[in-house]
Amino acid sequence: MRCWTTPCTPTPSSSCTPSCDRRLWAPPVRIGLIADIQGNLHALEAVLAALAHPGGGRPGVDATLCAGDLVGYAAHPNEVVLRVRAGGIPSVVGNQDQAVGWGLPRANRQPAAPRTEILRRAALEWTQGQLHAEHRAYLRGLPRLMRLPLSDRSVTVLHAGIDTLDDWLTPDDPPALEALARRLSSDVVVLGHTHRPFEYRCAGTLFINPGPVGRSVDGDPRASFAVLDLDTLQADFVRLDYDLPGATDAISRSGLPGELSVLIAQGRAACGEGRPPLTLKELP
């Protein structure tokens, strides 16, 4: 059932709101939540396998939703897009997806520190050059926002803010989440972008960020995802080991900046800003 497909044609500034006039699944429902895959196929395959066969006598999920950024910093953007499409995983567009799909010069409105900004730009340009035209078109067609009536619950998925794809939304800013809750009027809101897993309740809305599948930034390099029970509105957060050496070796062999493999292996957000900024010529 593909009720989330919308006939509108997104642009970088548009917002598409798919809707469905019937339940997608009957309760009880367990939904896998993923975000920020960032082109890391090794991590994605491990997470999808864990969602399908969690072990320990626990049931698998009935469906999986993605809060955007399929591509970004790792070596398999085409394979990740193909895997998400083949798996029928509904996704919204992330800021990296938008920049790659539309050929934009940057994915973030605000520049980072010099060294990190160079890595960002190099990764974006590499991914833009690698992604097949069919997959770029797919990214351009992703909605900014999905509204899904699931098991008598209203679930909204978006990457970051409604109006911009790089808003920084975390429990550190309760007024921003409360304002978003009022605008969306949804039982559950699933977010991505910050690479920070969290669960937060306010204004009658449960906010969930499942954390990043493909690029952790909190010092724990494992893949992150969540499972939401729509009957109880309880979320379980999972950190999962995956073939990290395979992922980092693929980055090193791809033509991407080699320093990205170090950041992903260590689960760090930024490079050593105390050192002189790299130039693109200095990056492998």
- 154 pLDDT tier (thresholds 50, 70, 90): very high
Closest by CA to 43, choosing from 241, 251, 255, 258, is 241
Residue 20: per-residue pLDDT: 36
Which amino acid is residue 198, in one-letter code?
F
Q: Is the pLDDT of residue 247 over 60?
A: yes
Would the pTM of this model clear 0.85, i.e. be above it? Answer: yes
Amino acid identity of residue 118, one-letter, is: I
Q: Is the pLDDT of residue 270 over 80?
A: no
Q: What is the DSSP letter of 231?
A: T
Residues 96, 259: Cα–Cα separation, whole Å: 19
Domain locations along the chain: 30-282
Q: Name the H helices within the chain.
A: 41-52, 77-86, 95-102, 114-130, 133-141, 174-184, 244-254, 258-266
Q: Mean of the per-residue pLDDT values for the chain? A: 87
Q: Which of 77-91, 150-164, 266-280 has the highest mean predicted lDDT (pLDDT)?
A: 77-91
3-state SS assignment for residue 240: strand
CATH superfamily of 30-282: Metallo-dependent phosphatases (3.60.21.10)
* Percent of the chain at pLDDT exceeding 90: 77
Confidence of residue 79 (pLDDT cuts 50, 70, 90): very high
172-195: average pLDDT: 98
